[in-house]
């Protein structure tokens, strides 16, 4: 995911430094100012997807829809982790309640609702200023995460690197991984200290990533963009709420009111119907245990359903998710050279399953992942200059 970086510079309103309990009651965002809170522009640290990842995820989501599987919807339970540095960041319960109310208002019509299941409070300066991919993030989530299989873990802190927040994608890790969740700046909650970004829009944006959406400007003016057909192409992220912004030659003005752009919170008003469909498909495919509504699990594909795309197609990968070993079943409509490789979410090669001549027909390849970390991997098959990819999820 492209790093979220708006050009408009702004400063946080400094909080009054008063040590008394009465002051904390007046200020729901902590007692004292924090030097790291001065953010020069808004930024999102969600990971940049590789082309291979986007291809595999897109294929999996299309398959979910084509199979006619039930939409994944329901109530999502939120485990909120308030992180402070001892002097600031200890947001009041009223601010958290206001944020949950904002989420339910803005996600109305998506099929998802949010309920606050728990709140805990931790004073730790390293966790408070954590950054995406850092040891501090890993330590924080390993220490604080609650039931990530069934809970949406939200961490309010003051992230480093000038970030307002970041999120994991549904396919980033195994479903039960403690790394799943969203980190947001405590000053972005409703009534917070970050001008133009203090109505609650940051969590709505990051939750969109968490449920499977890319930025609306993903890929710029080049197909497939954000892989959502009803969001117009957008070359650049949006600053403020500029009426008539149009940065791509394709039909449609830039989607400045979309929660997955970088507009001011006051500008946010919409998810599109196909974004909603993608969120539901993403949860059904990668996070079926997250909402309280049951979701049908994937079944092995019959031979006649195999996609005969180009010179090679996947018949099935089963089981998926898997614990240590899965079978990759291919269909070759004609004899030829085939390469089948497995990559991690960073795009690094982890194993080559096949590289040679194969006869026409069906072939089964074993993928043993005993030495690999849990998470999402991408199996890519290439023949006659064409490739297909599938996502597989390793759980341990």
Residue labelled with tokens 């000038």: 162
The catalytic residues are: 206
Main-chain dihedrals φ then ψ at residue 125, nearest 5 degrees: -65, -30
Axis-axis angle for helices 273-286, 51-66 (nearest 10): 90
Q: How many angstroms separate the CA atoms of 365 and 260, rounded?
A: 39
Residue labelled with tokens 């319960």: 93
According to DSSP, residue 303 is labeled: G
CB 222 within 8 A of CB 189: no
Q: How far is the CA of 95 from the CAs of 9, 125, 128, in angstroms?
A: 25, 21, 18
- The number of beta carbons lying within 10 Å of the beta carbon of residue 377 is 23
Q: What is the chain's percent helix, strand, coil content, to nearest 5? A: 20, 25, 55
Residues in the chain: 396
β-pair partners for 152: 78
């Amino acid at each position: 995911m492209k790093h979220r970086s708006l050009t408009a510079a702004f400063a946080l309103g400094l909080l009054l430094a008063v040590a008394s309990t009465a002051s904390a009651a007046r200020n729901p965002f902590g007692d004292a100012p924090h030097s790291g809170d001065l953010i020069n522009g808004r930024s999102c640290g969600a990971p940049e997807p590789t082309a291979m990842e986007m291809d595999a995820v897109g294929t999996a989501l299309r398959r979910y829809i084509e199979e006619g599987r039930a939409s994944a919807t329901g109530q999502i339970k939120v485990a909120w982790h308030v992180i402070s540095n001892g002097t600031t960041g200890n947001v009041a319960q009223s601010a958290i309640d206001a944020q949950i109310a904002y989420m339910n208002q803005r996600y109305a019509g998506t099929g998802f609702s949010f309920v606050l299941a728990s709140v805990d409070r931790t004073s730790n300066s390293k966790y408070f200023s954590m950054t995406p991919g850092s040891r501090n993030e890993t330590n924080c989530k390993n220490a604080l995460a609650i039931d990530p299989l069934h809970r949406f873990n939200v961490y309010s802190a003051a992230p480093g690197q000038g970030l307002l927040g970041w999120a994991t994608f549904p396919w980033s890790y195994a479903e039960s991984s403690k790394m799943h969740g969203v980190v947001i700046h405590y000053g972005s909650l409703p009534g917070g200290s970050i001008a133009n970004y203090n109505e609650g829009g940051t969590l709505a944006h990051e939750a969109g990533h968490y449920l499977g959406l890319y930025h609306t400007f993903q890929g710029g003016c080049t197909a497939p963009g954000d892989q959502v057909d009803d969001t117009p192409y957008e070359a650049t992220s949006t600053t403020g709420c500029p009426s008539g912004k149009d940065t791509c030659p394709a039909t449609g003005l830039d989607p400045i009111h979309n929660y997955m752009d970088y507009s001011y919170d006051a500008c946010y008003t919409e998810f599109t119907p196909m974004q909603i469909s993608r969120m539901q498909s993403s949860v059904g495919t990668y996070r079926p245990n997250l909402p309280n509504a049951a979701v049908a699990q994937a079944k092995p594909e019959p031979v006649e359903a195999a996609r005969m795309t180009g010179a090679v197609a996947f018949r099935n990968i089963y089981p998926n998710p898997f614990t240590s070993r899965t079978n990759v079943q291919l269909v070759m409509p004609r004899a030829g050279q085939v390469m089948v490789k497995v990559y991690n979410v960073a795009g690094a090669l982890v194993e080559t399953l096949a590289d040679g001549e194969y006869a026409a027909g069906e072939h089964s390849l074993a993928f043993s992942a005993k030495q690999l970390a849990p998470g999402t991997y991408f199996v890519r098959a290439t023949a006659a200059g064409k490739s297909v990819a599938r996502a597989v999820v390793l759980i341990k």
